[in-house]
Structure 1
Amino acid sequence: MNNDLQELAAQLRQPSGEKGLMIGDMMNTTNIKMSLQSIDKLHLKNNDAVLELGHGKCGHLDYLMNKAENLSYHGLEISELMHREAQKQNAERIEKKQALFSLFDGNNIPFPDDTFNRVFTVNTIYFWQSPLEYLTEIYRVLTTGGILNITFAHKEFMQQLPFTQFGFTLYHTGDVQNLISKTPFSKTEINSESEMIPNKLGEMVKRDFSTISCYK
């Protein structure tokens, strides 16, 4: 049982192989409300440059691109499988040079300072190896006045999932605010919601989640 849970935890962090395809589909479905909230709270304007960290299959890209005119999007992934799947799913956006997808190491963002107006990430904070250093790296690539949105499920929900004991760091909103307070970000805002999602048994359970918006 523990081996199965460890494998699931590893797949949720970095999907790969045939099981990774199933995990990618599942995450695309179950995380959509969280992704849409994170996008909504970016308050996108015409000509914004957007970076997403850990986009999965990126089934939400059309929703994002319809938020304003002349947006540019760049997605970064540690999973080669999700990188390929996102490119397949969004081939038209890539062809139109509206979107670009790249692989990275999960720590160092391969862009110059002040590159993006908006950055967002959904359900990745559990896996950050060095949260303070990573937040500082995100701050570096944001322009002045830019927004970072961190969207995550609350610790109370996540700790009920048996696989989160393997490689997940769980957070209350206060924990994330405390991290951000140690960085140069000037202020934060919190937007919280609840949703009903199916568990592995097909039962509907309530998930509480938040988007914390960090302003440069």
Structure 2
Amino acid sequence: MENEELKAIAAQLRQPHGSKGIQVSDMMHESNINMTRQTIKTLELSANEEVLELGHGNAGHLQYLFEIEKTVRYYGLEISELMHAEAKQINKSFADHKQAFFFMYDGMDMPFGNDYFDKGYTVNTLYFWEEPVKMLQEIYRVMKPEGIFSIGFAQKSFMEQLPFTQFGFTLYDTKTAEALVAKTDFNLVKSETQVEQIKGKIGGMLSREFTILTLKK
């Protein structure tokens, strides 16, 4: 692939848009569903909790979240207008029943007050945080005392094999991700690494190693 093609893929993964955005979001949902489910599991959801997600994509995974605990209230934040609209359409029933709420944001400042959420998570967005320490501190602000936030990300050793990650991605291994958390007010309570088989974004099957960091306020 030419650099321009790789740059276009990277830009879509960061912020799906335009005529190819829906296709990209469907692909991301398929390739990330196991990682997303495993990240949600680490939250150990309880009744009536307020749950935050950053970068939900098309949010096709919400059915799974509500199967675990139907009484939680979900709040999704997106930088992509296309994904914001797609998530609301796919999850119209949850939105109509005031179970799911979707918001746009600028990728940093969250439209919520302090100590708002019991639980929260994000999957495959860490690479795109321009100011990761500041981002984590903003997450810390909106979490309730004792609140849990989990971060799912693919290991650097896997990501650096993908040609498009040279454009706009910051890659992490467990050590560098944990060092990032250590610069914030969060406490790292668990770090878990798994391996899965996924379809490659440009074809074929790939073995992907991913890690979930579980943080506590």
Q: TM-score, normalized by length of structure 2?
A: 0.97
Cα offsets for 1:54-90 (capped at 9, x unmatched): 0000011011112124210000000000000000100
Moved over 4 A (4+): none
Task: Report how many aligned residue pairs link the two structures.
Answer: 216
* Counterpart residue type for residue 2 of structure 1: N
Structure 2: gaps spanning 5 or more residues: none
Aligned-pair identity (%): 49
* Partner in structure 2 of residue 43 of structure 1: 44
Alignment RMSD (CA, Å): 0.9
CA contact (8 A) 1:45 1:69 kept: no
Q: Secondary structure at the match of 2:207?
A: strand
Cα offsets for 1:133-191 (capped at 9, x unmatched): 00000000000111110000000000000000000000001111001111111233111
| Structure-to-structure mapping, 1:135-214, within 5 angstroms | 135-200=136-201, 202-214=203-215
Alignment partners' CA distance in 2, 1:201 and 1:64? 29
* Partner in structure 2 of residue 117 of structure 1: 118
Cα offsets for 1:8-48 (capped at 9, x unmatched): 10010000011111100100100000100110001100111
CA contact (8 A) 2:116 2:144 kept: yes
CA contact (8 A) 1:48 1:71 kept: yes
The 3 A distance-change label for structure 1 pair 93 and 125 is same
* Partner in structure 1 of residue 101 of structure 2: 100
1:53 and 2:54 are equivalent in the alignment: yes
1:68 and 2:74 are equivalent in the alignment: no
Structure 1: gaps spanning 5 or more residues: none
Alignment partners' CA distance in 1, 2:57 and 2:132? 20
The 3 A distance-change label for structure 1 pair 103 and 183 is same
* Counterpart residue type for residue 26 of structure 1: M
Alignment partners' CA distance in 1, 2:198 and 2:139? 30
